């Protein structure tokens, strides 16, 4: 699959964190991006756009990433959710994986880790 054919939802309450992730992914090409600043908006946008990949922070207002992962997975058990967090504890990370999240990226972002993960996703499609 080509990066230009991919849609990505970036969910983080930090506008800077969303921009950084989008900037790294954009070095591979030009996917379609959607953004959400909290978990409630992320679920709404997931249902509306059904993106190919979701990058999800754990600690957010209105609804945390764990509850958001659960809500998205209940709607679409095949959702590709990647947790991106610096604050998430091992317990929270484990909970997100058990609910269906596929992978984890630690903040601050490691550009190579993001690119490797995206390459793996694109090759698998």
* Domains of the chain, each with CATH number or no CATH: 3-124 (3.40.50.2300)
Strand, coil or helix: 22: helix
Is the Cβ–Cβ distance between 8 and 55 less than 8 Å? yes
In whole angstroms, what separates CA 86 from the centre of its chain? 14
Q: CA-CA distance, 76 to 113, in Å (whole number)? A: 26
* pTM for this model (two decimals): 0.93
Give the mean pLDDT of 28-53: 97
**Backbone φ and ψ of 84, nearest 5°:** -125, 110
pLDDT digits (tens, 9 = 90+) for 98-125: 889 999 888 888 899 999 999 998 888 6
- CA-wise closest residue to 22 among 34, 39, 38, 4: 34
Q: Average of pLDDT values for 17-40?
A: 96
- The string of pLDDT tens digits covering residues 78-93 is 999 999 987 656 778 7
Cα radius of gyration rounded to whole Å, the chain: 13
Q: For residue 3, is pLDDT > 80?
A: yes
Residue with tokens 């790294």: 24
Mean pLDDT estimate for the chain? 92
């Amino acid at each position: 699959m080509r990066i230009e054919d991919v849609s990505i939802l970036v969910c983080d309450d930090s506008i800077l964190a969303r921009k950084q992730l989008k900037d790294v992914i954009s070095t591979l090409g030009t996917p379609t991006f959607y953004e959400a600043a909290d978990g409630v908006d992320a679920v709404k946008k997931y249902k509306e756009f059904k993106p190919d990949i979701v990058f999800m922070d754990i600690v957010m207002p209105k609804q945390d990433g764990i509850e958001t992962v659960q809500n998205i997975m209940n709607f679409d058990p095949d959702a590709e959710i990647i947790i991106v967090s610096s604050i998430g504890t091992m317990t929270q990370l484990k909970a997100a994986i058990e609910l269906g999240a596929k992978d984890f990226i630690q903040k601050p972002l490691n550009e190579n880790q993001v690119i490797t993960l995206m390459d793996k996703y694109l090759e698998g499609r």
